[in-house]
Chain A
Amino acid sequence: MTRTLPIGAGGLRLLAWTVLAGGILLPIAAGLWQTARAALGVMPAIGADAPGWDAAARLLALPGLGRSVAVTLFTGAASTLLALVLAAAVAALWHERLRGRAAARWLAPYLAAPHAALAIGLAFLLAPSGWIARALAPLAGWERPPDIASVNDPAGLALILGLVIKEMPFLLLVMLSALGQLPVARHLALGRSLGYGRGAVWLRVILPQVWPLVRLPVMVVLAYGLSVVDMALILGPSNPPTLSVLLLRLFTAPDTAALLPASAGALLQLALVLAAFGVLLVLERLARSAGRAWLARGWRGQAGEALLRLATGLALTLFVLGAVALVSLGLWSVAWRWPWPALLPTGWTTAFWAAPGSGLWRALADTAILAAGSTVLALALAVAWLEGEDRAGRPGPGRRGAGWAEVAIYLPLLLPQIAFLFGLNVLFLRMGLSGGHVAVIWAHALFVFPYVMIALSQPWRALDPRLARAAAALGAGPWRRLWAVKLPALAMPLSVAAAIGLAVSVSQYLPTLFMGAGRIATLTTEAVTLSSGADRRITAVWASLQAVLPWLAYGAALMLPGLMRRGRGRA
């Protein structure tokens, strides 16, 4: 006896679609359109109104563009591949141990640590005068730091390392959650009984089933790796830099005519990402047909076990590197002097925490406002979306693959930010919306919403439908069922989704920079700005704070639902 309210089946879904179209798809299309116009030489503000290929020609004439594109493709592809392989190896070896909460607890610090903070820590760790070199100095007999390019190296290896450390935990989490939907133990037992090694079963039986579930997140990681700005500024090559950094330099060049080739470059960036997706899909096809032939040969793959252990060992090393990088940040933030080759600071101070320069508290407040605003917005939209799905008739928890709606939700993560944010900024300025908190909250929500959906949709769809049915039988309407039954039952996933949303918002760099018109300074924009300054200690204070904020959110997310339940029990 379900009562159908006016805003029942279709209403919520329609609302969510409207918000999706008007809030995400349309603005992105408009931003791309503005960028494309400028790329074709039309930007009335700087007196450019003759369409033509001039901007593209100027872009192509830039010294080092070829190398810049090459290093972009290399770092993006290599970091994605490495992160994927390592995550798969860890999942294969340890998925039993990492079920449920354990994985979340172990991976949370890495998921929450903003890219910029991790990069700043790694830059010190890896530098020729950094922590690792200092530890090696007595053994290698280095009196002075060796003259080697261990960060900002021309091939982008340090950038790849940073990206892998940050993306591997994300892919691992996605994979573990996908594995939760498969009868992994049965597959393994069956495989073993036929004499197949663990590696072989994973590669041939389990991964092909996991792949469709993780394809979209892998594409997100790939797009991110190809277009990352903040990490590339700190760890990437400098002469020439990756394409995204080259474009940021052009977008902010004193010569305003550079905006035209910069826009053409933004389209090139977009083309690179789309081409990479194309290659990925072709590879998938090839693997599918080649895989069948390979399966038929019946290789038992006992040797795969050693490779699996090797890859897992490498993954663990990277986890340790990431942790040590963050520890070094903490140490620098309380150091007075920490010269080469001392392993620990030679003088200590808390002065930079007490007075870290003007603007810290404001930046903290702005960061919190943006994170809270965009997360609430994204959560509300996600709940509306999923509840609309329920009311329209549940597609079932085993739903596979990505429908158009899902692609639309992920679109902001699949396109390079620089391709549409500049155009969008011009558009927002015309509407008088730029530079305000609202514009930046919305821009953050573009990127927060997809992650909230990733975190929330699976537990939501897996919720036992009998709960809601029982409530309906007791006479509860759809709204009451939502408020009194579903949301409390989903308190844990909701708070985890909120924590992820907060972390994503805190780490945003380009959207804050472009849409905030420089008036909104967050811990991230300030930390990145300071990272090109001379005072590592102050940078460390900001970056540590930038990392601590999302950690607090995750901590709260893991503890709150338990507390709430206890509170309820007493009532």
Chain B
Amino acid sequence: MRDVFPRRRAFAFAASLRAMAAAGALALAGAGGAVAESRSWDDIRAAARGQTVYWNAWAGDPRTNAFIAEVGQETARLYGVDIEHVRLRDTAEAVTRVLSERAAGRDAGGSVDLIWINGPNFLSMKEQGLLFGPFVEALPNARYLDLSPGAPATLDFTVPVEGMESPWRLARFVFMHDSARVSAPPESMAAFVDWAAANPGRMTHPDPANFMGATFLKQALLELAPDLPALLAPVTDAAFDAATAPLWDWYDALRPNLWRGGRAFPENESVQQQLLADGEVDIAMAFDPAAAAAGIARGTLPESVRVFVPRGGTIGNMSFVAIPYNAASPEAAMVVANHLLAPQTQARMQDIEVLGAFSVLDPSRLDAAGREAFAALPQAPALPRLEDLGPTLPEPHPSWMTRLTEEWARRHTR
């Protein structure tokens, strides 16, 4: 049941009393209210002018934070749209926030306008009807994207995007090693077992409760699982047991030789990179092929750090931005999403001296000016070429990640 009171501040208190009285009836307000954006872009731009976008984004990477700040200056200059970066420790905080707002009956004027999102958080919000849209087709710069069926920009961890989130950066899982200490890094996931046995305590992975730790397990799962297509469908008990049996054998062989005997794990990949810089481990991982070059440029990693990937290729996915159903400034949020897709913005983002995140645009759809912007980007010794990275492997269905982390916790948290 929807609240019939106008959602203005003046009525907020009355609405809250009502909400408290009818708490039971509030269930699932706003669910399934997806309506395609049908206004013209000029109307949207006009409405956006003067609005502020509260962009909820993970803030663990200073370069990304600086880039978001720079984007905010650009959108303010070009479109009169200010960006406030709401710094998150974990993207799920923003999901919880929108959810608490729906709990409180605040179905408009919400505190979150834009979320940097993908995977399970997207699935969670989409399933619960917490998203605004579809809106991607309404963005003029979407013409530079490959949106043909099955293209990477249309699937988020195998979940159809359906215009409910707009891509902004490409992520590829890569490993990093300190070449001053490690001359021959492992060439496959299976080879990590021997490497760790020869170098006990010199590698680890982030806690699988964290995205990067889970990705490490998924990467191994993709190489070790007997039946790849099963991973792209929602998980079942039988499929899980069959697919993960080799994985747990592999992990049981690997774990005793991990850092701290495989009993403690860094909280996330940033902490792990700090361990690499401190010399506590020799291998780290990132979801960004430019992470090593970026870390060196900033002085957070030794100059001898290089990227490597297993021969079979690594998991890749796109990062998206989504707009909550109750966003206070959905128009301005769309303007920001569109600006993020502009070839100039994407080329600047890919610049190793700025952010070094790979572009989501389809090179074949760029015009001459766009191609030129990308051609002019500088190179760095620790920056791999696209062809060094091997094939891009698909993300398993999100339900696999949840099961994988739960099962890992069951086995290894005592």
Contact = CB atoms under 8 A, between A and B. Distances in A.
Contacts of A518: 56, 86-88, 93-94, 97, 111
Interface in A314-357: 336-337, 339-341, 347, 357
Contact of A145 (B68, B207, B279, B410): B279
6 contacts: A144-B280, A239-B264, A426-B103, A432-B12, A432-B13, A534-B295
Interface in B243-271: 259-261, 263-271
Interface string A64-107: 10010000000000000000000000000000000000000000
Interface residues of B, number: 84
A319 B106 CA distance: 49
A255 B25 CA distance: 22
Interface of A: 43-47, 49, 63-64, 67, 127-129, 144-145, 147-149, 152-154, 237-240, 249, 251-256, 259, 336-337, 339-341, 347, 357-359, 425-426, 429-432, 434-435, 517-519, 521, 525-526, 528-530, 532-538
A45 B93 CA distance: 16
B277 A145 contact: no
B274 interface: yes
Per DSSP, are chain B's interface residues mostly helix, strand or loop, or mixed?
A: helix
Contacts of A253: 92
Nearest to B302: A339
Given A252-B93, A518-B94, A430 B19 contact: yes
Given A127-B278, A152-B264, A533-B61, A337 B299 contact: yes
B121 A532 contact: no
B87 A529 contact: yes
B211 to A, nearest CB: 10
Contacts of A347: 299
A259 B20 CA distance: 19
Interface string B70-114: 000000000000001111111111111101111111100001000
A252 B278 contact: no
Contacts of B87: 359, 518, 521, 525-526, 529
Which one of A45, A426, A521 has the greatest number of beta carbons of chain B within 10 Å? A45
Which 4 pairs show the lowest CB-CB distances between chains A and B?
A45-B103, A432-B12, A429-B104, A129-B278
Interface in B1-60: 9, 12-13, 15-16, 19-20, 23-28, 54, 56, 59-60
Most B Cβ at <10 Å: residue of A144, A148, A526? A144
Contacts of A129: 275, 278-280
A220 B299 CA distance: 42
Contacts of A358: 65-66, 68-69, 85
Contact of B13 (A147, A339, A431, A535): A431
Nearest to A147: B201
B370 interface: no
Contact of B280 (A145, A359, A532, A534): A145
A256 B87 CA distance: 20
A481 B173 CA distance: 71
A517 B97 contact: yes
B318 to A, nearest CB: 18
Contacts of B260: 147-149
Nearest to A429: B104
A256 B105 contact: no
Contacts of A532: 60, 89, 267-268, 270-271
Contact of A255 (B54, B124, B207): B124
Given A152-B264, A254-B120, A255-B402, 10 more contacts: A45-B103, A64-B414, A145-B278, A239-B265, A239-B412, A240-B413, A358-B65, A431-B12, A517-B97, A519-B54
Contact of A45 (B9, B26, B59, B86): B26
A290 B264 CA distance: 43
B209 interface: yes
Most buried by B among A254, A339, A429: A254
B124 A533 contact: no
A336 B299 contact: yes
Which of B61, B91, B267 has the largest count of A CB atoms less than 10 A from its CB? B267
Contacts of B106: 429, 432
Contacts of B66: 357-358
Nearest to B276: A534
A534 B285 CA distance: 12
A316 B300 CA distance: 34
Given A46-B103, A532-B271, A340 B279 contact: yes
Given A339-B279, A529-B59, A254 B121 contact: yes
Contacts of A528: 89
A430 B111 contact: no
Given A239-B264, A518-B86, A518-B111, A535 B298 contact: yes
Given A358-B65, A429-B103, A519-B54, A238 B207 contact: yes
Contacts of B410: 63
B409 A64 contact: yes
B236 interface: no
Interface string B275-306: 10111100000000000000100111010000
